[in-house]
Structure 1
């Protein structure tokens, strides 16, 4: 099993690892800080360095229980240094944490769930089962108040049995609870607690302020909000 470094520390930008397998342009490591995407969050990209040679990592994805790093070039078995495209990663970390705050407000204030979403470095979009644009704007206003408070974001691990006792631990509509024995929990104390496997910032103040790009109707009692941070 590959060690997923980002699960414990999302701020690691460079790491050492060993290449255990190469299949065409796909590289498999014993440990990685590259996030393979998931939950609507895009994957990382970056660079491998080996013997003063640099190779671009252009895609990272889960494959048969492992993590495949798709490269543009050639590389050999043995040790490498991995370097994350930090500007891209950090932009998505901030949006990811902001999206958790919005989901928490939607759930507690309107009993609404996220029915879909996507986070890229430039902006995010989320679908909520709410019935008015005004409710979404209220969610954004309250989320900005919370982000500005500078609340520490905690990451820890619980057994599935313990995690399932927490109300609202899964806030995505139609998302089944993870069928694994140990869950990674992301908590913004007093605001939100969710089972989540993606990178997050350490403090809500790092996110900045949510700015609405546009809001769309996506059917009965369903709205999509596009937003960025500034």
Structure 2
């Protein structure tokens, strides 16, 4: 099991950790600040700093899977190519410093929070999501047209209002009693642990289950614009966001 420090504090840039396992597939640590691909958000990149000062560049982060392909409680730090010697030097129990590419992560955080603002402006269910360092997109289950300029102005207003963004949690029973909190058709919150992580923006802007990384206040998002609106199917409208 990997302790997921990013769940409670998205602003952590590095942490001390111990190696659980290391092979050609990647490195599993006992704790990490690296967010793994999931919920539409890209996995983190960065580096692991060994005790002797050598670094292992991490190109991606994924959830570990069992033999049947089901996610487990471990997080796999996937190394960039050409680092076989450094990777081979790692042993279980070794101490390392896990350090994310902060500039890239912060763009993920800004975009992810911006998609929640978009959910406020477009209340239909989401049936697809992608959050990267270069763009974010949401696919809405709807047939009505959307106005690019109106959405850009709406997001700008919510950003300027400086709404606080708070991490919380609810239980399975509370979510079952409030199914409308789930706004995604394609990604369902994990159940069974008794604790489902939530994100709340302001008093009435947005409130829904979410495991991703976010800024602490909407003003940190900065200038975001709707770069494209596409009709992906008869019942899907795609909204793409970019930084101005």
Return the TM-score normalized by structure 2: 0.86
2:163 corresponds to: 151
For the pair 1:32 / 2:32, whether they are aligned, the reply is yes
Distance 1:228 1:67 in 2: 29
| SS of residue paired to 1:117 | strand
Distance 2:243 2:43 in 1: 19
Equivalent residues in 2 for 1:1-230, closer than 5 Å: 1-50=1-50, 51-64=52-65, 65=72, 66-72=74-80, 73=83, 74=87, 75-77=89-91, 78-107=94-123, 112-135=124-147, 137-166=149-178, 168-180=180-192, 181-189=194-202, 190-230=204-244
What is the CA deviation profile of residues 163-208 of structure 1, one whole-angstrom value per residue up to 9, with x for unaligned ones? 3334532101244342232101111121111111110000000001
Distance 2:234 2:175 in 1: 32
Unmatched runs of 5 consecutive residues or more in structure 2:
66-71
Unmatched runs of 5 consecutive residues or more in structure 1:
none
Contact 2:148/2:226 (CA < 8 Å) preserved in 1? no
1:141 deviation in Å?
2.7
1:215 deviation in Å?
1.5
Change (3 A) 1:134 1:159: closer
1:20 deviation in Å?
1.2
Tell me the number of residue pairs that the alignment of Structure 1 and Structure 2 aligns.
226
What is the CA deviation profile of residues 59-91 of structure 1, one whole-angstrom value per residue up to 9, with x for unaligned ones? 210112111111232241210001100010000
Contact 2:18/2:31 (CA < 8 Å) preserved in 1? yes
